[in-house]
Amino acid sequence: MSAQPASPDKPADPLVTVEDLHTFYGKSHILHGVSLTIGRGEVVGLLGRNGVGKSTTLKTIMGLVNPRQGKIMLESNPVTRLPAHKIAQLGIAYVPEDRRVFRLLTVMENLRTGLDRPGVTDARKQELLDKVFTYFPRLGERRNQAGGTLSGGEQQMLAIARAMMLEPKIILLDEPTEGLMPRMVTQIHQIIDALHSEGVAILLVEQNVPLTLEASQRVYIMEKGAIRHHALSSDLKVGDAVIKQYLGV
Amino acid sequence: MAAILSFFTDFPIELFLIQTLNGIVTGMILALIASGLTLIFGIMDVVNFAHGELFMLGAYVGVLVLSTTGSFWLALILATMLVGIFGGAMQIVTLRPLIGRDPLTTILATFGMSLILQNYALWQFGPVARKINEPITGSFSLFYLTYPYYRLLIAALSAAIIGGFWLFLKHGKYGIWIRATTQDRVMAQAMGIPVPWVYTAAFAIGAGMAAASGVLFGPLVGVNHTMGLDWVLKAFIVVVIGGMGNLGGSIAAAILISLLEAYASIWVSPAQAVIVSFIVLIVTLLVRPTGLFVATPK
């Protein structure tokens, strides 16, 4: 079990609950009992140095990697070891670190991969498209352009917009500002705030500590495959001892 | 010098034009078979050694439906659908359990299916070739030849099926799912696309296309249990030359190979002309192993 400190403020209405997650890549033991909770509509940061298991935590929640031990609950329903497409259909969306837009599909086709779900009316599809094109006007301008021809920032926008097409309850956002220019970082921050105001929960993995502390309500800090610290974001500041201890900034 | 001059003065222009037509007709059939093969490889990384047997099975289903109903068109539609369903079931039973395992296991599984289907056909239908009658029997004069309309119909129908398939891939909801899965199966899953079922559907479509080409080509060659062997070998060559998993490349390569073989058989026997395909294959593997019709990787 991880040495998880007493929670400062556990959510009253948990959306995703992860308990004692142990994940392996072959024989390598990556996650050593990760436990965390994300409340409905809450933005939670997951901080830590490179290689501590942040991305693996997201992949395990998404069902892209199967845990050897532990439990993942979505609204009190177990989703552990469900195939990723079922987890996505239940309301968890994933924006990976390297964006992974479908490079040969146009922007519109990329969006359609999430939009063409059973039970979504044409009117609803149009509403969702209008919404993302309002958030990301550049995508609207480039709707017929192949995903692979977009700039890094535009690809990041597309990856987030594509996840939004699923109308998820929570988005697992892996390093969305990595390699982006400051203007784009600000825009990503605005999108996180907008999603939060719409009631979408976000589990945000970031190297950008100031952004994470500003955008999230709570943060978990990971080290060596386990949660080592858990605090309200408002209680932490860049330069705090705990941030220096685990992140070196 | 005189030899070169005589080559041009004696150039058999009429035969050249006839062979161009023959090459295009054969190329379209080959493109139809290779499209299914490249679809299955592109999406699942499965080299389907049973593809030729699905072609053969389609032709036999065509023979049975034709003898029962007398309608070639019904035979074409039913063979495509039934072999498509059979292909889907075959994928679920033999290939789905192997997802994520060593690719060699899928090669062995499809090779095993190929042997089973071939010997089943031999057991059921015997070694004597069956005949499928052409739906149209007219012909027209092409220089000194009487050229059957049916050959043109084959090329047109193959082009129509490939065109329909392309439109489905380009604009259909499930076509986008197939293309997304081909490009990034992990992200496709994360977007809620049921990837195992997309695999099954792609295999069924590939099988259906092989069956359609079997029925279409049946009237020209006769239907027997080994008819798939030659075609699948050529289809594999086409898929490699066109770029593994590249649909447009496979179509272009099918026409290129068939034209080259047709032209070569002006000067050498058709059996020797086959060598041209292998030469192009070897040159492709040496010079541009990703395929002749694939954009240069950046």
The interface predicted TM-score of the complex, written ipTM, equals 0.89
Residues in chain A closer than 8 A to B189 (CB atoms): 63-64, 83-85, 88
pLDDT at A9: 60
Contact B29, B154 (CB under 8 A): yes
Give yes or no for A62 touching B (CB within 8 A): yes
pLDDT at A249 over 80: no
Q: Which band of pLDDT confidence, cut at 50, 70 and 90, is reported for residue A159?
A: very high
Give yes or no for A84 touching B (CB within 8 A): yes
pLDDT at B244: 83
pLDDT at B228 over 60: yes
pLDDT at A121: 92
pLDDT in tens, B140-176: 887 777 888 888 999 999 999 999 999 999 998 899 9
**Residue A201: phi, psi to the nearest 5?**
-80, 150
Mean pLDDT of A156-164: 95
Domains of chain A (ranges; CATH) run 14-101+168-247 (3.40.50.300)
Contact B216, B158 (CB under 8 A): yes
pLDDT at A40 over 80: yes
Residue B83: name the closest of B228, B196, B214, B199 by CA: B214
pLDDT in tens, B113-138: 999 999 999 999 999 989 888 888 88
Give yes or no for A88 touching B (CB within 8 A): yes
pLDDT in tens, B249-289: 999 999 999 999 999 988 888 888 889 989 999 999 998 88
pLDDT at B95 over 50: yes
pLDDT in tens, A54-71: 999 999 999 999 999 999
Domain layout of chain B by residue ranges? 28-228
Q: Which of B179, B191, B196 sits opposite A88 (nearest CB)?
A: B191
pLDDT at B298: 41
Mean pLDDT of B2-7: 69
> Shortest Cα distance from B256 to chain A (angstroms)?
25
Give yes or no for A89 touching B (CB within 8 A): yes
Q: What's this model's pTM, rounded to 2 decimal places?
A: 0.86
The answer to whether A116 contacts B196, with C-beta atoms less than 8 Å apart, is: no
What Cα–Cα distance (Å) separates residue A235 from each residue in A203, A213, A230, B148, B183?
18, 9, 10, 85, 44
3-state helix/strand/coil string of B259-283 = HHHHHHHHHCCHHHHCHHHHHHHHH
